[in-house]
Structure formats: structure tokens, C-alpha cells
Chain A
Amino acid sequence: MPVQDMEKIFQDTVDREVKIEPLNWMPDAYRKTLVRQISQHAHSEIVGMLPEGAWITRAPSLKRKAILLAKVQDEAGHGLYLYSAAETLGTSREQMIDDLHTGKAKYSSIFNYPTVTWADIGAIGWLVDGAAILNQVMLCRTSYGPYARAMVRICKEESFHQRQGFDILLTLSNGTEEQRAMCQDAINRWWWPSLMMFGPRDTESTNSDQSMKWKIKRKTNDELRQQFVDMCVEQVKVLGMTLPDPDLKWNEESGHYDFGEIDWNEFWAVVKGNGPCNKERLEARRQAWEEGTWVREAAAAHAAKQQSKKQASAA
């Protein structure tokens, strides 16, 4: 069958809202886009453990420590669901990890910002996870079956992350003057990077059109960003804090909040590797992988030994 016909059948399937599964024919570009997007998403979950992991030993109470441990463990699990989904497209786990370590693959730029106070853990949960959830809820309906299933699983768990973050900030906002200041400072530093998480503006985003047609994405970067702003403006009132944007204003006509211009120079600088923590994050990942080599080898050797013992006793 000519490729054009295959492509038509593929697009018809997508248009009928029937999921694409690993063995179905798909255009090369669809496969490549998914591998790039899903592996990037997986790397983000894994690298995302680093800024939060830094606070596990310094959490202010045993309860907060246990919660943060559980959250970071969830991120590891989310990374794994996503790596598995990407592997169904024909790439290998090792290849993806290699691409991350050599800098070929990207991860969400948000994790290149430092976590300097405990309030940052709250701000990450509320804003960063909040932004991620909007994207992930949309992706539960993505056209590729294994990706959609991974997203459903992730969304069920992600809500806890956002709520625990808000809970941290709420506690700080009811605390001393210093604690309130710490809370506002964290919001000030994480607000703009969180808005950048949705990616370039629709007019600049090269991947968006095709991804919408293939129903990989269901909403554009700007739609999701607007949804996020509208949501946060209401939530920040509960904290008695403010968002660091003088241009934030209700627009009667559009029914949404207008907001100020994102610093796109900063966005591209961090994407290109010049954020505050890019080098530190990648180095930490590489080091963890290298120092774990002996564990992987020992486990493989142990498995081989058990296997040969079993065969010997069967013979």
C-alpha cells in the first residue's frame, strides 16, 4: 500500500478518536515526535527529583520529610511509566538515558532553577506541579495509547503533589513575618519560570500545529498558560500573597486575566543550557548513573548465576 494511503488511514483513525497502539502503522514523524516528547517528559520527572531531593534531609518535621520522600519516589515512578511508554515506539531505555547524559535530549527547564529555601518546595508543588498537571490532564487524551495510559496513572498521583505544595505555603502564610516573607519570595521566584513551562508562544512554536492535527496535544501552549494564570490568580488570594506581575488584570471582554510579558531571553538562555543549575543537574544525573554501574553489573551477574544454577539442577 502506498505511504499516502497509509497516512490517510492513520489520520482517519486519529480523527475517529481511536487510539494508536504500538503495532499500528504510524508516520515516521509521528513516532519521532512522540519519542522526543515522551522521553523529554520522562527525563523531566527524573531530573525533577534533584531540586526537591536537596530538601529531604532538611525538611522541617518528620511528617514533611516522609511526605517529600513519598513525592520524590512518585517522580521516579512517573519517569519509569514514561520511559516504558517511549520504549514501545522502538527506542531503548539505554539510548534515552544516553541522550540525556550527552545533552542531546532536553528536560523541562524549570528544574534548572535552585531550591534555596523550604518555601521553594511548597512553590514547586503548587506552581510547577500545578502547571504540569494542566499539561498532563490534556495528555490523558493523547492519541498514542501507551502515552495516554501512562498519563492517566500519573494524573491520579500528581494531585497529591500540588495539594501538599499548597499546604506547605498555606502553613508558611499563617506563620511569622519571616515565614510569610519566605513564602512570598518563593512565589516571586517561581512564578515566571512556571509560566515558561508551557513553552514558546503559539506563534513561535514549531511543533504545535502538527501535534494538534495528530491529537498528540489537544490545547496550545498559550491556551494552557492562560488556564494556569486564571487558576493561580484565584488561589494566591487564599494564601494572602501576590503574584509578581504588575500587569495582571481581569479582562471583562475576554473573560480571562491579562498578564505581563514573559522574559523570552531568559527562557531561551535556560533552554540552551545557561540556566542557574543546568550543569549541576546533568552532572548529578551522570554521577548517579556512573556510580550505579557496579550495582547494575552485580544484579546482572547474580541473575545469570541463579539461572545457570537452576539449569544445572534441572539437568
Chain B
Amino acid sequence: MNTFPRRFFYGDIPGDNTGGDSTPTSTAAATDWPLWEIFIRSKQGLDHKHVGSLHAADARMAIENARDVYTRRLEGVSIWVVESRYIHASSPDEADSLYEPAADKIYRHPTFYQLPDEVNHM
């Protein structure tokens, strides 16, 4: 039974399948151009945000295609592209050990502290 995808995209790529070497890890489609993840900065002062992915032969083509595909309606002022296989990601299996410990540390939030009205805007 095939329980996991053979190829990992959209930044959901576990580390053991990547690592930045130059040989493609995917053999599923040797003739497809590589996949690139696209990040767009919507305006100066904001972070680049992941918007999707596309295939392109090289970085320059990836940027040109990203401009046509993801910024047709003034959605961006700057584009980052990164080949999908260079992205490392945490595994969903580790979610409990990675994120659960933060759940009982509610004292990290400012709302944890009840202060007198006079200073409660602090």
C-alpha cells in the first residue's frame, strides 16, 4: 500500500529526501523541468510569502514564469524562487515532540498576567 507520495512538493519535503546535492532525487519524470517554489513580496516592508510552485528549466525562467503566473494583478514587487528539492521540512510524525511542549507554557503570552487596571495597558 502506498501510504506516502513518492515526490514531495509545496515545501513539505522531509529532510532525508533533500539536502541540496545536485542530483535530482526524483526519477518519476526525468523529462519534466525541475519544480520551483515561488515566494512573492506583495509590497516593500513585508516578507516574501510562499504562493505556489511551477516548473522551469532554470532560475531565470522560473522568475519570468512566476511573474506571468503569480503577479498578473499587481500581487508583488519582488520574487524569490527556490528549487523544491533544496527545501527541508519537518515531518508530520515529529509534530508532537516539536510543538506540543509549547502548549503548557502559557506564561509566554502577555495575557497570562493579570495586572491592576491602572497598568493593564502595559
Give 25 CB contacts A-B under 8 Å.
A21-B92, A22-B5, A23-B4, A28-B2, A77-B68, A80-B69, A81-B52, A84-B10, A84-B54, A87-B35, A87-B53, A88-B9, A88-B10, A92-B7, A92-B32, A93-B55, A149-B52, A150-B52, A153-B52, A157-B72, A296-B33, A300-B33, A302-B58, A303-B58, A303-B61
A95 close to chain B: CB less than 8 A: yes
The 9 closest A-B pairs by CB, nearest first: A90-B5, A92-B29, A303-B58, A303-B57, A299-B57, A94-B29, A22-B12, A88-B9, A23-B12
Which chain A residues border B106 with CB–CB below 8 Å?
Answer: none
Q: Which of B4, B14, B61, B89 has the most CB of A within 10 A?
A: B4
A146 close to chain B: CB less than 8 A: yes
Contacts A23-B91, A88-B9: A28 and B1 contacting too (C-beta < 8 A)? yes
Q: Residues of A at under 8 Å CB distance from B?
A: 3, 6, 21-25, 28, 31, 70, 73-74, 77, 80-81, 84, 87-90, 92-95, 146, 149-150, 153, 157, 296, 299-300, 302-303, 306-307
A28 to B4, CA, bound (A): 9
A-B contact count (CB 8 A): 88
Q: Is the Cβ of A24 less than 8 Å from the Cβ of B92?
A: yes
Q: Is the Cβ of A23 less than 8 Å from the Cβ of B8?
A: yes
Size class of the B contact interface (CB-based, 8 Å): 20 to 34
Which chain A residues border B35 with CB–CB below 8 Å?
Answer: 87
Cβ-defined partner of A88 (8 Å) among B3, B12, B14: B12
Which chain B residues border A89 with CB–CB below 8 Å?
Answer: 5
B73 close to chain A: CB less than 8 A: yes
A136 to B112, CA, bound (A): 42
Known pairs A31-B2, A88-B10, A300-B33 / 15 extra A-B pairs, C-beta < 8 Å: A21-B12, A22-B8, A22-B12, A23-B12, A77-B72, A80-B54, A84-B54, A89-B5, A90-B5, A90-B6, A90-B7, A153-B52, A303-B57, A303-B58, A307-B58
Which chain A residues border B58 with CB–CB below 8 Å?
Answer: 299, 302-303, 306-307
- Specify the chain A residue showing the minimal Cβ separation from B69: A77
Which chain B residues border A153 with CB–CB below 8 Å?
Answer: 51-52
A144 to B8, CA, bound (A): 15
A95 to B29, CA, bound (A): 8
Which chain A residues border B14 with CB–CB below 8 Å?
Answer: 23
Q: Which of B9-52 contact A (CB under 8 A)?
A: 9-10, 12, 14, 28-29, 31-33, 35, 51-52
Q: Is the Cβ of A88 less than 8 Å from the Cβ of B52?
A: no
Q: Is the Cβ of B9 less than 8 Å from the Cβ of A299?
A: no
A296 to B66, CA, bound (A): 17
Cβ-defined partner of A84 (8 Å) among B9, B68, B73: B9
Contacts A93-B29, A150-B52, A300-B33: A22 and B57 contacting too (C-beta < 8 A)? no
